[in-house]
Amino acid sequence: MNIARWLKLCIVASISLVLAIQSPIYTASATREVADDPVQSAESAESAESTESVGAEVKPMAAIYAERRALLEQASQATGIPWTTLAAIDQYERSITVANPKKRTPSKGLIGIYYSDQEWAGMLNPNPQDTDIRSIAIFGGKGRDGSGDGVADRGNDLDLLSTMASRLLGVGTSPDKLRKALSSYYRNARAVERIEQFIKLYENFDRLDLHEHAFPLPRRSIYSYRSTWGANRSWGGARMHEGTDLFAGHGSPVRSTCYGIVEVKGWNNYGGWRIGLRDLNNVYHYYAHLSGYDKSIKQGDIVQPGQVLGWVGSSGYGKPGTQGKFPPHLHFGLYRDNGKTEWSFDPYPSLRRWEQEDRQRSK
Ligand SMILES: [Zn+2]
């Protein structure tokens, strides 16, 4: 079989993923966000950073995680909302800002919860930058003072957390009540699903520092891949190849590329035995054509970088169990969620970086 045919099969696999994503559970009726520049934002979103700007300072990520955790704990003590819930909302909001760079200004502080001028100050407030809690209240703005300095400042982390908490606290702090509050706040089933996934990750690991990645194949295995993003765009007149094909021997271990949750697992007519993980950047990691899964892996499970998920195979392109219609390889795709929809972006640069990071770590 020639390369053109492999690519065709993979393109079909990509289409079927998109169809799966568009299942009814994801068709939220009303959402707060709309896509603006998917390609550009996806590029910037996946850059691996060891530092981040906070105000005028550039700080190492370890310090940022520690300070952010302290703030979240402080807000948790004041409100009774678990720090993991506040952390999940904060991280979800940050991911939505990354995916909508033209609509949302990134936070300069440690907390990434976003409010527009109108949301914060109130729709008809003549001063969209208002920080006066009395006039904000008069105009029905959401802005609150959480730091106790008498002003409601969107640049203040505690004010942001307090404002979010006050929206959630109306109904109570039990997991059920908080889910209800999140549903009415976001009016978007996807957003609530993401936040609950993030809560699970934070509860499981009890830390914020969960952004390490790994290459999907073991460092010492024999494999080859090249950038095949967008290849064969004209095939079928519809979609391009949404991923990277990694060629490796049948039965080579396939590993988790992230700290994440198993969102999808099972047969798909084109992707064969496939698995999809959601990470804390709100990126979906999609693996297709496996020969099988590690027995311990179930939908909803938490996984970590390097953990074996299954094995390279040639499954797909037919009814369940079909295999061998093309040479064994791993089709790997990355999809970003902007709160409303998902789109694929080229995984090749990320794969190259994770491969290098694996090599560095093993030195
Ligand atoms: Zn492919």
pLDDT tens digit string along 37-65? 344 344 444 445 677 777 767 889 999 99
Structure confidence by residue, pLDDT tens digits, 199-245: 999 999 999 999 999 999 999 899 999 988 877 644 334 557 889 99
- For 22, 25, 97, 190, 218, the CA distances from 29, given in Å and listed in that order, are 13, 10, 20, 10, 42
Per-residue pLDDT, averaged over 75-102, amounts to 95
Per-residue pLDDT, averaged over 71-91, amounts to 95
Structure confidence by residue, pLDDT tens digits, 113-148: 999 999 999 999 999 999 999 999 999 999 999 999
Q: Does residue 31 register a pLDDT over 50?
A: no
Helix (H) or strand (E) holding 162: helix 157-168
Q: Does residue 33 register a pLDDT over 50?
A: no
Q: Does residue 29 register a pLDDT over 60?
A: no
| Residue 133: Cβ-neighbour burial (10 angstroms; 0-12, 13-18, 19+) | middle
Between vectors from CA 104 to CA 189 and to CA 139, what angle results, nearest 5°?
Answer: 85
List, as one string, the DSSP characters of 201-215. HHHHH-SS-------
- Please check whether residue 266 is in contact with residue 274, taking contact to mean a CB–CB distance below 8 angstroms: yes
What letter represents residue 1's amino acid? M
Predicted pLDDT at 88: 98
Å from CA of 225 to ligand 1 middle? 10
Å from CA of 331 to ligand 1 middle? 4
Q: Does residue 319 register a pLDDT over 60?
A: yes
Tell me the torsion sign for CA atoms 239, 240, 244, 249. positive
Q: What percent of the chain has pLDDT over 90?
A: 72
Q: Which residue has the higher pLDDT, 49 or 278?
A: 278
Cα separation, 312 vs 241, whole angstroms: 19
Cα separation, 208 vs 89, whole angstroms: 13
Q: Does residue 9 register a pLDDT over 90?
A: no
Per-residue pLDDT, averaged over 75-91, amounts to 95
Indicate the pLDDT class of residue 1, thresholds 50, 70 and 90: very low
- For 80, 100, 109, 235, 318, the CA distances from 330, given in Å and listed in that order, are 45, 30, 40, 21, 17
Q: What values do phi and psi take at 136, rounded to 5?
A: -60, -45
Per-residue pLDDT, averaged over 8-14, amounts to 51
List, as one string, the DSSP characters of 272-302. EEEEEEEETTSEEEEEEEEEEE-TT--TT-E
Predicted pLDDT at 7: 52
Predicted pLDDT at 2: 53
Predicted pLDDT at 120: 97
Cα separation, 333 vs 61, whole angstroms: 27
Å from CA of 195 to ligand 1 middle? 30
Q: Which residue has the higher pLDDT, 22 or 93?
A: 93
The β-bridge relationship of strands 272-279 and 260-268 is: antiparallel
Q: Does residue 32 register a pLDDT over 90?
A: no
Å from CA of 243 to ligand 1 middle? 6
Q: Which residues contact 70 (CB under 8 A, 6 or more apart)?
A: none
Predicted pLDDT at 49: 60
CATH T-level assignment (fold) for domain 3-40+213-362? Glucose Permease (Domain IIA) (2.70.70)
Å from CA of 271 to ligand 1 middle? 9
Å from CA of 201 to ligand 1 middle? 29
Å from CA of 289 to ligand 1 middle? 9
Å from CA of 235 to ligand 1 middle? 14
- For 25, 81, 259, the CA distances from 89, given in Å and listed in that order, are 20, 11, 17
DSSP state of 337: E
Environment of ion ligand 1 (residues, CB < 5 A): 10, 243, 245, 331
Å from CA of 288 to ligand 1 middle? 8
Å from CA of 145 to ligand 1 middle? 51
